[in-house]
Amino acid sequence: MGTMTTRLAPSPTGAMHMGNIRTFVLNAVLAKQNDWDVLMRIEDLDGPRVKPEATNAMLDELTWLGLTWDGPVVIQSDRAERYADALNTLIDTGVAYPCICSRKDIEMAASAPHAEDLGGAYPGICRGRADTVHASGKPSAWRVKVTDEAIRFEDHIHGPVAFTLDKTGGDFVIVKKTGDAAYQLAVVLDDADAGVDAIVRGDDLLDSTARQMYLRRLLGLGPEPMYWHLPLVVGTDGRRLAKRHGDTRLAHYREGGATRERILGWVGATAGLWDGQLREASMDDLVAGFDPESLPRSAVVFTAEHDAFLRG
């Protein structure tokens, strides 16, 4: 097998916290261990949540940590024409349809009799009603029809995984009402066009992988990538690390005097190195010691001890 290609794909919706940093660093470590090419992609399609100043800040922070990448930075918002072409392909093949449902419409459908049979999936309100949707004059999103076939893949962290899309979300949005490509469609096309075949990301995206594999097959995009889904970093309440857990931004710790070695040491300790003992480390230490087989399979709890260590 020749050189594989991975990507770092931050979203400029705010400052990166330690959960984001852990994923990006471990992605870089796996790339160095396996001699992968590394691409940088800015995923800036999240509408009003995108903060223009965040892109340069993220690139600066990742560079400060010692991460590198090959070639120019790809910006998703520059690729609208490519996404539109793919939507037209899916429309022409009859698997995409317009949808004017609001969240309230979907919530009302979910409270109807026998809605429990849907398993929380989109109930297909607009499927087969394209003429009615267009006649309404309302802005429409576009959804792709799913089937009851199980989508199976082998994850290099979690092992064999399977999702049945009609039960886990149902027909999903591929283009938003704003006309922007939704995450699932954009990521599939970006990865396929760039030849990305090694994807490392958080395990909250395991079910997204099934949707993306399904889209790849519909679009005939060739061999499917290999996947490493890393357990998330969570607060002591078990919820994904966020502002509610205090200030866990990398920028916060940098401003407080934390060194790169302290940040990398925390990543290593939470990834199964040094029996979990917090210590400073270099990227070379992580590359030499990290073993995906020894990575804890459960979520990493960000504790007061972690915070104190990072504060120095």
Q: Domain residue spans in the chain?
A: 5-72+231-311, 80-193+209-219
- Sheet of 5-8, strand order: 5-8, 37-42, 74-75
pLDDT grade for 104, boundaries at 50, 70 and 90:
confident
Asked if the domains 5-72+231-311 and 80-193+209-219 are classified in one and the same CATH topology, the answer is yes
Q: Residue 312: its pLDDT value, please? A: 78
Q: How many other C-beta atoms are found inside a 10 Å radius of the C-beta of residue 116?
A: 9
Pairing of strands 96-99, 141-144: antiparallel
C-beta separation of 38 from 70 below 8 A: yes
Task: Name the DSSP class of 71.
Answer: S
- Sheet of 96-99, strand order: 96-99, 141-144, 172-175
> How far, in Å, CA of 125 to CA of 122, rounded?
8
Q: Per residue in 105-125, pLDDT tens?
A: 776 654 443 333 444 689 999
> How far, in Å, CA of 66 to CA of 45, rounded?
27
Q: Per residue in 2-23, pLDDT tens?
A: 589 999 999 998 889 999 999 9
pTM over 0.85: yes
Q: Residue 114: its pLDDT value, please? A: 36
Q: Per residue in 255-290, pLDDT tens?
A: 999 999 999 999 999 999 999 999 999 999 999 999
Tell me which fold the domain 5-72+231-311 belongs to.
Rossmann fold (3.40.50)
- C-alpha angle 115/97/130, rounded to 5°? 90
Task: Give the homologous superfamily in CATH for domain 80-193+209-219.
Answer: HUPs (3.40.50.620)
